Structure 1
């Protein structure tokens, strides 16, 4: 068969459901092959959005999302999405076209070395130079994208290679099982946990995939050990449960950091070096048990004394079977810290002034969204407030990016989440800065007939950097901008636009939009003026008393 047909057959063998794409003329053979496939082609309005959607698909399913672009500018537009998937450990396979490599007639027109460009951003990148090599290279791209640690891979399919004939068979995915931790490591970790007086469980990004959530919940329920999560570990355990302390939304001085400081043993599950370190190890400080798929990457602030390397869920099961709650464990201080944090969150949430304060906004969203509802956060000041104050109930129900931390991913990520889980409520939460970086995807969402709510938080500036600027006493310089009429802008795409004029209008409007169906954007003026006072001075003062 033609190599492009073989390529699509290989995608089908990998279980691919969607290809998110902006094709070019170098992809036309592949496009024709996709036309006869059950794989759905989703055309986006920017390659970056196609990549964000593919990466989010991978994040939610554990199976590689696929994005497709042409050569040159199409491929360069995938670079940010490649870094997003690679740093965020989201399995994604990118496919780019290329001019004929055997008989070129156009010189260097649009040609850059895409494979070389993708090298530092991917786990694997290759030009396909023969139709016969298609099955093996597709299989390898998917294997590497999905094995621990997941990430981005890339294949370049030149126009003339796509037209070649091949008799090679498709390679089916192999059956694999992840290795389990050595018994001696489990025994040593169990001894350390038993002997500790104030153990603390810390859940990171690596635990928010591969179905570790159920075992983590059993581990916590049986032992009652207080639990803290990183931003990308959010939702692995139910954050309304009695053992959840809080999320490391801030870099330092928040209540949860007091809980971490007082622990004499930290059970660090799914640690990922891409996240800001939630604690710093010091000689003579708390002992650390590292539980992960891979060995620890040691640096000056992270050098665990005990490493349990293997499938996380199996390691937790083995530990759970060996351990019992200990009478000498003392969680009184952590409980006091947890209570103080919950009071601080509650006190801020009752402020119903307008423009709306972020603490109250988070409460209103939590009240409306169902337990399994999915939030897809873009990057901005609000991300800290949602990470800290929003009680997630299930894994990957709060999709935020604390790895590349790129703006512009919120709307495409929400769209992908809705495709994966059409029965669940999905909301994109975007600042006005990040939203405008991929706002054209409103058309894609309308065309796909998605039921989607976009909460647009408008402060007419780059609020996160303003907050940082204020901390450095720069004053307020260079970060304000103008905005379109977001209601009219949204309606020009055939979606529904709404504007909040009072805080009391927000909750009923969100509820109405969620129930009505279709694509809805809600323009919400937000007031970040108290960020510095609350997140820096007030929290530092209150937590310092504990």
Structure 2
């Protein structure tokens, strides 16, 4: 006979789980005791359940295997909901295990009891209460399968106290061998014909393409046939952005150079499109209304003659601005490989990318502008350039959510997949530091930097203690403007008075040191580069307080870029 909590741990081991992140409560003590005897799984005790969920989700993003997080019932479970939505929208496989009072016999009334299964249902792929020890193997296998299946996301299992203490004769269920379906041959042939017939095709690389093999296939396609490409924010780094055919990242909603590149195309191959990201282009339903200023309001309204090919694991989710003419549905890497082979057999390719390359020259010139700006506090363009110079090719930056996310999406050239972790799905604050900690655990030999606004950092700043306790090597760069800068930018853009969004901060250097981390403060713009290198090269947890100046955000992002791009 096996105790149910022991069986749950064995089932997780069977799935290859290495970490469980979280905060146990009294309802989890059977599971905690069982976990203490695991030779494979390490408990990462955090200081908040939300951070545990962010870490588990990020592990899932890197590995493709479900990250696991743990909480007790009631408030512990409610603290996981933001992380559940973060994983669900962001396509990151994650399993949440929450405790519960005994379900067969309880003497505590409704104390702390919420219907957590029902609460999790709308924000997960699967939410289930374990009501029998015998069902644990099948429920764990099903939950993990769904979490990891495209599109990946969050799943939830609730383990009541009395079920955890039951005995059973069951054993874990091994994972089955699964091969993803591949795209139909006819769809591939039609795609090849349309790409060959185009005059100026472009690739738009989205969230679903951010997979290791897909990155390899897309790089080969671009290298062999010279097709320009743009990325969404969650597609950054799928192809090395130093590539001469990289047209930019759709960081702004409208009016950027990347939108002009898409306008220059007569065929858009949309790879791994996910509706959780703001669309980099709108398809037209009939003719556009007279006098509409679509440059200002929309990403790009592509002409009625512009065709769109949807290449993804799943069929297109059609909405008023996205209704592709051709869908290639199946494993993306395999589909790109088949398209590449089909194009190699053609002798009628006659493309003209002159206009796109003209847009690229303007894009690259603007990205270079401001890299040497010596003003202090540090300006965003200089900040991004210094971080890029300090990070090695395989270095990982993990962004929290704030106005700097737009600057890094536009100006930071990603050299590989999952080297720029930003959240353009739920777009939650507070995830930067926990995601960097998970990045370090999964990639212990690589340089890792969390980049956080002062507002987002303070939402999970207590995890500095976790990072120090675990002996991590990472740098946390705090961009300090004493306000919620993203919302101030929007406030200015909408013509409202600058009001209600400023606050005070602690002394971040002393704050870091109080946890046992190394605290640093940028005193001049010239001092930023050597300080970044020092922190990245010195073991331990480092926090850098860097004052930033966002006063030109509105002018540059809302006026200058649009004027320059429209003039091309």
TM-score of the two chains, using structure 2 as the length reference: 0.95
Aligned to 1:54: 56
Aligned to 1:270: 272
Distance 1:166 1:326 in 2: 66
Distance 1:122 1:213 in 2: 27
Aligned to 1:176: 178
Instruction: Give the conservation status (yes or no) of the 8 Å contact 1:497–1:521.
Output: yes
Cα displacement (A) at 1:21: 1.1
Instruction: Give the conservation status (yes or no) of the 8 Å contact 1:89–1:150.
Output: yes
Aligned to 2:340: 320
Instruction: Give the conservation status (yes or no) of the 8 Å contact 1:185–1:308.
Output: yes
Task: State which of 304, 307, 323 in structure 1 corresponds to 2:324.
Answer: 304
Cα displacement (A) at 1:209: 2.4
Distance 2:278 2:455 in 1: 23
Instruction: Give the conservation status (yes or no) of the 8 Å contact 2:196–2:350.
Output: no
Task: Name whichever of 418-427 and 277-286 sits farther off.
Answer: 277-286
Distance 1:5 1:243 in 2: 53
Deviation string 1:345-401 (CA, Å, 9 cap, x unpaired) is: 111212121000000100000011000000000000000000000000000000000
Instruction: Give the conservation status (yes or no) of the 8 Å contact 2:403–2:485.
Output: yes
SS of aligned partner of 1:375 = strand
Extract structure 1 runs of 4+ deviating beyond 2 A: 324-328
Aligned to 2:209: 207
Aligned to 1:142: 144
Distance 2:221 2:283 in 1: 24
Aligned to 2:14: 13
1:89 aligns with 2:91: yes
Structure 2: any 5+ residue segments left out of the alignment?
Answer: 287-303
How do residues 276-355 of structure 1 correspond to structure 2 at under 5 angstroms? 276-282=278-284, 283=286, 284-324=304-344, 328-355=350-377
Instruction: Give the conservation status (yes or no) of the 8 Å contact 1:196–1:265.
Output: yes
Aligned to 1:518: 540
Cα displacement (A) at 1:261: 1.1
Aligned to 2:108: 106
1:475 aligns with 2:477: no
Aligned to 2:29: 28
Instruction: Give the conservation status (yes or no) of the 8 Å contact 2:69–2:95.
Output: yes
Instruction: Give the conservation status (yes or no) of the 8 Å contact 2:212–2:417.
Output: no
SS of aligned partner of 1:246 = strand
Structure 1: any 5+ residue segments left out of the alignment?
Answer: none
Cα displacement (A) at 1:210: 5.5
Deviation string 1:162-190 (CA, Å, 9 cap, x unpaired) is: 00000012100110000000000000000
Instruction: Give the conservation status (yes or no) of the 8 Å contact 1:21–1:42.
Output: yes
Aligned to 1:365: 387
SS of aligned partner of 2:104 = coil
Instruction: Give the conservation status (yes or no) of the 8 Å contact 2:479–2:548.
Output: yes
Pair 1:268–1:39, CA change in 2 (3 A) = same
Distance 2:19 2:10 in 1: 14
Aligned to 1:375: 397
Distance 2:82 2:54 in 1: 9
Cα displacement (A) at 1:327: 5.0
1:130 aligns with 2:132: yes
Instruction: Give the conservation status (yes or no) of the 8 Å contact 2:450–2:477.
Output: yes
TM-score of the two chains, using structure 1 as the length reference: 0.99
Distance 1:291 1:223 in 2: 18
How do residues 407-446 of structure 1 correspond to structure 2 at under 5 angstroms? 407-446=429-468
Aligned to 2:261: 259
Aligned to 1:161: 163
Aligned to 2:119: 117
SS of aligned partner of 1:245 = strand
Distance 2:151 2:563 in 1: 39
Aligned to 2:44: 42
Task: State which of 532, 551, 560 in structure 2 corresponds to 1:529.
Answer: 551
Task: State which of 243, 246, 249 in structure 1 corresponds to 2:248.
Answer: 246
Instruction: Give the conservation status (yes or no) of the 8 Å contact 1:62–1:210.
Output: no
Task: Name whichever of 324-333 and 6-15 sits farther off.
Answer: 324-333
Aligned length: 546
Cα displacement (A) at 1:286: 1.3
Deviation string 1:12-43 (CA, Å, 9 cap, x unpaired) is: 00000000010000000000000110200000
Cα displacement (A) at 1:330: 0.7
Task: State which of 187, 191, 200 in structure 2 corresponds to 1:185.
Answer: 187
Instruction: Give the conservation status (yes or no) of the 8 Å contact 2:197–2:349.
Output: no
Task: Name whichever of 278-287 and 414-423 sits farther off.
Answer: 278-287
SS of aligned partner of 2:460 = coil
Name the Cα RMSD after superposition.
0.8
Distance 1:432 1:31 in 2: 35
